[in-house]
Each structure stands twice: as structure tokens, then as C-alpha cells.
Amino acid sequence: MNEPNNCPRGSWKSSLGFLLAATGSAVGLGNIWRFPYVVGTNGGAAFLIIYLILVAVIGLPLLLAELTVGKHTGKSPVSAFKALAPGTKWWFSGMIFVITGFVILSFYSVVAGWAMSYFFKTVRGLFSAETDFAAVFTGHIESSLTPLIWHLVFMAITIGIICCGIVKGIERSVRVLMPALSLLLVVLVIRSLTLPGSAAGLSFYLKPDFSEISPQTILSAIGQAFYTLSLGMGVMITYASYLSKDSKIPGNALGIIGIDTLIALVAGFIIFPAVFALNLDPSAGAGLAFITLPAVFSQIPGGLFFGSLFFLLLSIAALTSALSLLEVVVSWLIDEHNWSRKKASALMGFFIFLLGIPASLSFGAWSGFTIAGMNFFDFLDFLQESILLPLGGLLISIFVGYVWKAHRSRKVANDPPCGFNIGKWYDIFIRFVLPLAIALVMIFGLIDRF
């Protein structure tokens, strides 16, 4: 609200605030809900190794590219592209980012709503060892009103925080939420690893079986690396635009990647030991967090308590990511159209809520409505994962590599100098490796789908 006058867009109060907000964006449903089931359905540890390599090879250069564009211009994506390539149509890629933020948040908020609703169900003690968790989950997502109410609540909280600005909204909430999230992770990992029979889960998670690896595995690993680091839609451009000129890019990039990867790995240490301790199926897919885990919690000592903590964790992780998605949309209207932050957050948040309605209903009342054989929720998910995010990543690497020029981006990354200097390898990755890898992912992803 009352950002300092000399800096009307606002800026982070401290570099820790930025790091927490950026890792908060990266750490989300992707780490705690999606990562374990992608690992579970793609051959466990063999997938893990490939994923880690791809995070370093694809994730790090793209993250550096986004951070340098943001820090150098001090602007959100559309304005940043206009500033670096005046008179061209490049600003239009910034518009794609805004649309992507819109699309992802609309269904992300629906899933976050499920997590919040499960938190309250667990707290109220509605689950017991006799519950049929698959039926409860299907019943929940197929019903019309309850998921919509939670979707509304989640969007209202997100709007409320973004309304308050960079320091008083985002920074202040991540300073509380991120430590809380870390504490919940530690408590849950201890509970899970101390269950009798948990070792089988560890060996599934950590023992590589390379016979499971196919080209499809590599595509899933690249997709997951993109998604989990919030890359390809200008989140990191936007967040870095609020950085001061003396902040150090390489250290922050390594911090974001390190913490995000650590938390995804730890989420696996919570889920697999618990699932194996109770002889449940580790490859249950999307239902792992909402069906298998509640079943686990209903059977272990202190289950309701730990179960509530798990869904609280999921809700917090989703919230800190949602903040970044809405901020991309809002900062565009503030920078380009001089809207007030309050008007932009409220109005855009409301439209995102509206787009989420058909996504939520597509599991029940509107399941008959399909696009290319997918229900509306799956269609939005497909759109962002297979088209919008890879396209965004491709545009960023081409823009930074060839239009703005990789060496300029590298100069920004290395100024002020810090212990870790970005070398010439960066130019090669941005100009050749990334565009090629991303284009391949897009093409094979689409061929595979249709």
C-alpha cells in the first residue's frame, strides 16, 4: 500500500525477502503433490537422477536469463521487452506470460482449494481407518458447490495479499509462511521415516532402475523442471524487477534451485516411506496426495494431527506460488496501464476465479464438456504444460540469446561480482542448448498427445 515514494513500483525490503518470495513461488503443489507422483510413475530414483541433471542444465540458465532481464530493466515482462527491444513486437511474448499466469492460477487455485478443504476435514476428525478415501476424493471433486467455495476462499486470500504490495503483502507473508512450511516438512519427514516398514519406500525412491527410462521419462523430467522452478512465464522477471542494483544474481539463482530441489526431495521422503509402510501403491498418480496419504494418516499413531499438518503444508505451498502467478498479471496492468494495485488485484483475481469455475466443475456437473478429448481442467493443464510454458521458455531463451544478447545478460548476472562467476558456457546454453531442448520437448510432447 504505502511503498516508498521514490520507488512507486515498490522493491524488496531485503534480499532475504526476495529469496523467500522466489522460493515460495517455486515451491508449490509441483513439489509436494506432483513431484512424488511423477517420480512414482516414472521409475523412482532413475527418474530422479535425470531430473537433477536437467534442473542444472536447463533450469539454471533459464532462471539466470529471467532474473537478469528483471533486475536490469526493473520492469515486469511486457515493459521489460519493450525497454530492451524498442519498436519490435517482442513485448507480445510478455502478453503470453500474462495469459499463462491467468490460466495456471485458475486451476491451481482449484487444487489449492481441495487441499484447504482436506485440511479442515482432517482437523475436524472426519477421517477414520474405515473411510473409503477414493470415494471421498471423487465425491469431493465431483460435487459442485464445496470445491467452488474453497476456490473462492483461496483466491480471496491471494488477492488480499497481492493488494497489499510487494513489501507489506508478499514479503511480509512469505517471511512467516516459508519458515512455517519448512517446520512442517521436518515434522512430517520425521514421522514418516520412523514408521515401521518405511525402508521399502526409501529403497524404491533411491534405488535407480534405468530400464524404466524412456524418451517420455526425459520429457516428463524437463516438464517438471520447468514447472517446479516457475520458469517460462516471467515470474522470475517480475520478482527480480523489484531487486536493488547491488543484489547478487548467481547466489540467488543457486539458492532458489537448491531449496526448491531439496523440498521436492524431502516431500518424497515424507510420501514414499509412509506409502510403503502401509503397503499402498506408490504409483497412484494424482491421487497420491488426496487418496493414498489420507489413508496412511488414518492408520498411523497421531494420524489426524500429522494429516492436518500435511494439508496445511500443501495449502501454504500453493499460496506462496499463487502470489507469484497473480503478481505477473497485476504488475503488467500497473506498469503498462497505470492501474492501481488494488484495482488490478481485485479485478484480475475475480476473472481468474471465474475461469476456475468451469475447471472445478469439469470433474462433475460439466464433465461432458470436452476439448480435444480432455475435460476443461485437463485442457488448461495441458495448455500450460505442453504449450504455454515451453513456448514462454523458448521465447525467453531466444530473446536473451539473440535479441538482447547473452553476453549482456551474463554481464548483469556477474555485476556486482560474487564468488560464483557465470562463464561463457551460459551464452552457449542460452543460444543453442535451451532453444533446441525446449523445441524438442514441445514437438514430442504434442506428437505424443495427439
Omega into 273 within 30° of 0, i.e. cis? no
User: Which own/partner contact pairs does 79-84 have at CB distance under 8 Å and 24+ positions apart?
Assistant: 79/332, 79/335, 79/336, 80/237, 80/241, 81/399, 84/399, 84/403, 84/404
DSSP state of 372: T
Q: Give me the least distance between CB of 140 and ligand TRP, in Å please.
A: 21
Q: Give me the least distance between CB of 47 and ligand TRP, in Å please.
A: 17
Give me the residue label for grid cell 519448512: 182
Q: Give me the least distance between CB of 267 and ligand TRP, in Å please.
A: 10
Q: Which is nearer to ligand TRP, 326 or 413 (CB)?
A: 326
Task: Tell me the Cα Rg of the chain.
Answer: 21
Binding site for ligand TRP (CB under 6 A): 25-26, 28-31, 104, 227-228, 230, 233, 235, 321, 324-325, 389
Which cell goes with 58?
A: 536447463
Supply φ then ψ for residue 6, to 5 degrees.
-70, -10
Q: Which is nearer to ligand TRP, 19 or 389 (CB)?
A: 389
Q: Which is nearer to ligand TRP, 62 or 357 (CB)?
A: 62
Q: Which is nearer to ligand TRP, 25 or 198 (CB)?
A: 25
Cα–Cα separations (whole angstroms), residue 182 to 212, 216, 445:
32, 32, 34
Residues recorded for the chain: 450
Q: Which of 103, 67, 112 is nearest to 391 (CA)?
A: 103
Q: Rounded CA gap, 109 and 152, in Å? A: 8
Q: Which is nearer to ligand TRP, 26 or 394 (CB)?
A: 26
E strands present in 158-272: none
425 burial via Cβ count (<10 Å: 0-12, 13-18, 19+): exposed
Q: Which is nearer to ligand TRP, 278 or 388 (CB)?
A: 388
Helices and strands (DSSP H and E) totals, the chain: 22, 2
Q: Which is nearer to ligand TRP, 78 or 136 (CB)?
A: 78
Q: Which is nearer to ligand TRP, 397 or 414 (CB)?
A: 397
Give SS3 for 375.
Answer: strand
Q: Give me the least distance between CB of 63 and ligand TRP, in Å please.
A: 12
Per the CB < 8 A criterion, the answer to whether 148 and 377 are in contact is no
Q: Give me the least distance between CB of 79 and ligand TRP, in Å please.
A: 19
What is the 3-state secondary structure of 62-118? HHHHHHHHHHHHCCCHHHHHHHHCCCCCCHHHHHHHHHHHHHHHHHHHHHHHHHHHH
419 burial via Cβ count (<10 Å: 0-12, 13-18, 19+): exposed
CA torsion through residues 59, 38, 106, 442, sign: positive
Q: Give me the least distance between CB of 292 and ligand TRP, in Å please.
A: 19
Q: Give me the least distance between CB of 314 and ligand TRP, in Å please.
A: 10
Q: Give me the least distance between CB of 223 and ligand TRP, in Å please.
A: 10
Q: Which is nearer to ligand TRP, 12 or 227 (CB)?
A: 227
Q: Give me the least distance between CB of 445 and ligand TRP, in Å please.
A: 15
Q: Give me the least distance between CB of 390 and ligand TRP, in Å please.
A: 11
Helix axes 133-142, 145-163, angle to 10 degrees: 70
Give SS3 for 424.
Answer: coil
Q: Which is nearer to ligand TRP, 20 or 300 (CB)?
A: 20
Give SS3 for 43.
Answer: coil
Q: Give me the least distance between CB of 325 and ligand TRP, in Å please.
A: 5
Q: Which is nearer to ligand TRP, 29 or 412 (CB)?
A: 29
Q: Which is nearer to ligand TRP, 235 or 259 (CB)?
A: 235
Which cell goes with 240?
A: 527480480
Q: Give me the least distance between CB of 172 and ligand TRP, in Å please.
A: 19
